[in-house]
Amino acid sequence: MSSVGRSGVVASAHRLASEAGLKVLKRGGNAVDAVVATALSLGVVAPAFSGVGGGGFMLVHLGKQGKTLYIDYRETAPAKATRDMFKADADGEAVNLENSMGYRAVGVPGSIAGLTHAIENYGNLKFKDVASHAIEYAKRGFAISKILAYIMANNVDNSFEKFRRFGETGKTWLKDGRPLKAGKMMANKELASALELVTAEGADAFYHGKLGESLVNDMAKNGGLIRDSDLSHYEIAERKPVTGTYRDYEVVAMPPPSLGGMAMVQLLNLFENLDLKGMGHNRPETIATMAKALGLVYGNLRKSVADPAFMEVPVERLSSKDFARKLWFGEGERGSAQDTTRKNWTTHMSVIDKERNVAAITESLECFFGSGVTIPGTGICLNDTMHDFDTQQGGINSIEPGKRPVSNMTPTLLLKDGEPFLVAGSAGGPRIVTATLQTILNVVEHGMDIPEAVNAPRMHYQGTGAIRIESRIPPGVRKKLDAMGYSTQVPNYSQLTPGYDLYFGGVHAALVGKRGELRGGADKRRQGHVAAY
């Protein structure tokens, strides 16, 4: 299947998911239909990363209408959640992993509300049409991928411990007490039935019906916090993008409660006045300049961005060119940077259709397999998004009932002369911003085609500690950075494809080429796939 086309392109973290999106495009669906089909399929075939028990953000750009918006279907804290519900250890993490494993870690899921809303309001097809491929994969089965097998076999994010501790999840993912191996076929017929119920009853099946009832009953039996009222009161939010400009492009990014979009606009504002192209790709001076900018931006935004329903976020000021200039030259107020060690896992997908509509989703269960809790009889694995709140009390990202936690997720669109040029986003928690940013710069500043831009070696930095350097960046570059006074580190988290480390995110992107062709880029770090026609 081609990665270049004229009528549609889909890039995601799994071949079957990208193919599902492309089939929907060929049946007359638009980019929104295709991205929802892709997301639902990923929840079946790559369930460690995302699924209908989680939440996310969707970018929608309607070409003929010239309309761009974001659908926020991020999880929320249950009404019974309290600021002091988790006790913090010396590293600021919850004692006994209570905010990342088990029933109290679960936020109110938003995926079903968000995906059905998108189809009903912006799609061409019915939800049953776009869900059919995910249902087929769940019914008939799919082969366990190498990356999924790796996660399970190596107990990443305590995934095997979750299978062992929570029997409803273990019955799906364990055979004779062991995780399923790569290439092994498996089905999830209970999940297929749950998705069929949503196709018949819509989001009500989850928020007012049988699926929600099963969730609430299980929560009540096991010390969880979610109740009927949490589900019935859950609402998605349509949000106005954060916008900026970079060179000849308009930048469209995710607004709060994500700090990712604000970070993207601030960083591009900073880099606009610098000659990154002249510095060269992944040269010591380039990486040092990017590290300085990342430290400034992360330090500032950690004290400035939270759920806008709980605090006023000065979006216009933070996204201005003047603010970036003052930040760079030390004229404005700075915050304290923090090197976040959480490995929050996520997935991203990007779609462009023949009408030049664009849709992109970044979704997550938070840690691999989320909380480890599966709703009995449904195959729906639930998130651990309470992990995204700060365990300390009194901060702007502390736990409050109904609140959405701060996120790094930012599906990002570049327009040129009002027309879509590039759409990108990433997985990888704190690496989302740096991975997406470097992909954009690789195209705009360094002239790379989108597959090369997505898969070029990356760096990551959050303001303190070491600059993380992917192993394919030459040792001489690292030595020069060390000589410049920077500490560097080469992670070795997982390299299913040698040299492409899972730590550095998972970008899936698409662009409109110079001759109008649609081109996709899929990340080798996540064994991604592009489908186009």
pLDDT digits (tens, 9 = 90+) for 444-455: 999 999 999 999
- Catalytically active residues are 346
For residue 483, the model assigns a pLDDT of 96
Q: What would the mean pLDDT of 227-243 be, rounded to a whole number?
A: 98
Q: What would the mean pLDDT of 404-415 be, rounded to a whole number?
A: 98
Element (H, E) at 72: strand 67-73
* Tally of CB atoms within 10 A around 153: 15
Dump pLDDT digits (tens) for 252-264: 999 999 999 999 9
Cross-strand pairs, 62:
67
Residue 91: pLDDT band (50, 70, 90) is confident
Residues 86, 26 contacting (CB under 8 angstroms): no
Kindly report the three-state secondary structure assignment for every residue of 388-434: HCECCCCCCCECCCCCCCCECCCCEEEEECCEEEEEECEECCCHHHH
For residue 342, the model assigns a pLDDT of 52
- High-pLDDT (> 90) share of the chain, %: 91
Element (H, E) at 286: helix 284-301
Taking the C-alpha atoms of residue 2 and residue 339, their distance in angstroms, rounded to an integer, is: 40
Cross-strand pairs, 416:
419
Residues 301, 263 contacting (CB under 8 angstroms): yes
Taking the C-alpha atoms of residue 249 and residue 449, their distance in angstroms, rounded to an integer, is: 17
Taking the C-alpha atoms of residue 389 and residue 74, their distance in angstroms, rounded to an integer, is: 13
Residues 58, 237 contacting (CB under 8 angstroms): no
- High-pLDDT (> 70) share of the chain, %: 97
Residues 447, 418 contacting (CB under 8 angstroms): no
Nearest by Cα to 52 from 495, 363, 507, 340: 363
Residue 90: pLDDT band (50, 70, 90) is confident
Dump pLDDT digits (tens) for 325-357: 999 998 755 555 554 545 568 999 999 999 999
Peptide bond connecting 257 to the previous residue in cis, omega within 30 degrees of 0: yes
Q: How many helices (H) and strands (E) does the chain have?
A: 19, 22
Largest CA distance in the chain: 63
For residue 267, the model assigns a pLDDT of 98
Nearest by Cα to 512 from 357, 338, 329: 357
Domain boundaries, the chain: 26-238+370-388
For residue 341, the model assigns a pLDDT of 45
Nearest by Cα to 79 from 221, 256, 233: 233
For residue 335, the model assigns a pLDDT of 52
For residue 344, the model assigns a pLDDT of 63
R_g (Cα) of the chain, nearest Å:
21
For residue 333, the model assigns a pLDDT of 56
The conformation of residue 184, written as its DSSP 8-state character, comes to -
For residue 139, the model assigns a pLDDT of 98
The conformation of residue 181, written as its DSSP 8-state character, comes to P
Give the residue, 392 or 512, on which the prediction is more confident. 512
Cross-strand pairs, 380:
none
For residue 169, the model assigns a pLDDT of 96
